[in-house]
Amino acid sequence: MSFQAYLDAVEDRTGLTPRQLIDRARERGYDAPGVKAGVILEWLKEEYGLGRGHGMAMVHVIQKGPQIDRKHVGASGSHRDESDTLWLDGRASRPE
């Protein structure tokens, strides 16, 4: 599953776009330096029922933003992404 596919699945499961979840995380201070992934994972599990894999995808974009390592772009296999910038504004608004 690509990184973007994880974020799309998060949207499907929560009804919120990744950007909306990021905004909610910021309101709680989870984007601050030093916040541990476990704290964010617990919040995502309790509030939205997300498991570890989907939660870790959200931890990345909450703490590091939408950029991902170029090594996953265009690579073969199930974990490849089309771009090094993840789309956070929802599947329906993603340009084709």
pLDDT score at 28? 98
Q: What is the pLDDT along the chain (96 residues), one digit of tens a residue?
A: 889 999 999 999 999 999 999 999 999 999 999 999 999 999 999 999 999 999 999 999 999 999 988 877 876 766 688 889 999 999 999 987
pLDDT score at 11? 97
| DSSP character string of 27-75 | HTTTTSTT--HHHHHHHHHHHH---HHHHHHHHHHHHH-SB--GGGBS-
Report whether 68 contacts 86 (CB < 8 A). yes
pLDDT score at 78? 67
Distance CA 1, CA 26 (A): 26
pLDDT score at 10? 98
| DSSP character string of 19-40 | HHHHHHHHHTTTTSTT--HHHH
**Residue 61: what are its φ and ψ, rounded to 5°?**
-75, -25
Distance CA 60, CA 39 (A): 13
Q: What does pTM read for this prediction?
A: 0.90
